[in-house]
Structure 1
Amino acid sequence: MTILHLALADDWAKAAQAGEYHVSTLGRTLAEEGFIHACADLDQLRGVAERYYTGVSEPLVVLTVDPGVLTCPVLLEVAPGTEEAFPHIYGPLPVEAVVSVTPFSR
């Protein structure tokens, strides 16, 4: 399974220093949301960017996550109001689970 996460570049830089990433989605932490929102493919990622990140002017990056490195559950769940299943990471994201970080452009 592919797991992608759209992140503010600054949030990722802080996580890279700390060793773990704790941002669920724009403006919400793992502690607040209970999981880290993610996408299964680029189409889902683009949809998330269009729905939630249109007003963001800060640089964004796409984190590609190796689920085999995660020590927490990853569940495919259908978001309210949609029929699509999205991967949700139920714990902090260790930086070593991120296999690539690429700039996101619309």
Structure 2
Amino acid sequence: MLYRIAEAVDWHRAQQTGFFASADLAAEGFIHSSEQHQILETARRYYAGRAALVLLEWDEAALAAAGVRVAREWVASRNEAFAHVFGPVPLAAVRRTWPFGADAAGAFHLPPELAEE
């Protein structure tokens, strides 16, 4: 599974259009996504102080079946590879969603279902 921290407005738009797309797809040609172990550091670095977030879980096999290419590309600033999704994500590939935000101290936590896996 792949994960995307998304703005609630982008998730709402996806529910209207049937596909998730975000500003990074338009600007960079791909949607940034993470493996489960990368979620919290991504949240800390790029989403601190932001509200109205949603964590999306994408099925990589469903993306492939829909013809959406996923490539893991090295990100030097993080010293690891990240999954880049080269196209809008069909809602059929979205397996689970969770409201996502920091606690009162500003720390992010995985949803209980993911923390247990």
**Same fold at TM > 0.5:** yes
TM-score (norm 2): 0.78
Aligned pair partner of 2:41 in 37, 47, 50: 47
Aligned pair partner of 2:56 in 63, 66, 70: 63
Question: Higher helix proportion, which one?
Answer: 2
Query: Greater Rg, structure 1 or structure 2?
Result: 2
How many angstroms apart in 2 are the aligned matches of 1:80 and 1:35? 17
- For 1:1-106, list aligned pairs within 5 A: 2-23=1-22, 28-41=23-36, 43-56=37-50, 58-70=51-63, 71-105=67-101, 106=108
How many angstroms apart in 2 are the aligned matches of 1:52 and 1:104? 13
RMSD: 1.3
Q: Deviations over 1:71-95 (max 9, x none)?
A: 2110111113221111110111111
How many angstroms apart in 1 are the aligned matches of 2:21 and 2:3? 15
AA aligned to 1:49 is A
Question: Higher strand proportion, which one?
Answer: 1
Give the drift of 1:29.
3.5
How many angstroms apart in 1 are the aligned matches of 2:18 and 2:87? 13
Unaligned segments of structure 1, at least 5 residues? none
AA aligned to 1:75 is A
Runs of 4+ in structure 1 off by over 4 angstroms are none
Aligned-residue sequence identity (percent) comes to: 38
How many angstroms apart in 1 are the aligned matches of 2:78 and 2:99? 27
How many angstroms apart in 1 are the aligned matches of 2:69 and 2:57? 17
Unaligned segments of structure 2, at least 5 residues? 102-107, 109-117
Partner of 2:115: none
